[in-house]
Structure 1
Amino acid sequence: MTDLQATNPLFPIFVKLHNLNLLLVGGGYVALEKLGALLANSPQANIKLVAQEISADVLNILQLHNIPYTERAFEPGDLNGMDLAIVAINDSDISSRIASICKEKRVLTNVADKPDLCDFYLGSIVQKGNLKIAISTNGKSPTIAKRIKEVLNETIPDEMDDLLNNMQRIRDGLKGDFNDKVKRLNDITSVMSVKRKKTSAFRKLIYLLSFIIAIAFLILAGYYILLAVS
Structure 2
Amino acid sequence: MRDATTAPAPPQAHPGSPGGRAGTVLAADLLAKVRDCVPVSRGRYRSDEGAPANIPVCGTSGAVFWKADLDIDCDGRPGPRCNRRTDPYFAASTAFARSDGRPLSAEALPFVVLPAPSRIWDFRDHGITGGSVVAVIHRDRVQYAVVGDTGPQGIIGEASYASADALGIRADPHGGGARSGVTYIVFENSRVSPIEDRAEAVATGERLARRFIAGD
Specify the TM-score bucket, using the shorter chain as the normaliser. under 0.3
**Higher RCO structure, 1 or 2 (CA under 8 Å, sep 6+):** 2
TM-score (norm. length: structure 1): 0.24
Q: Which has the larger radius of gyration?
A: 1
- Higher share of residues assigned strand: 2
- Higher share of residues assigned helix: 1
TM-score (norm. length: structure 2): 0.26
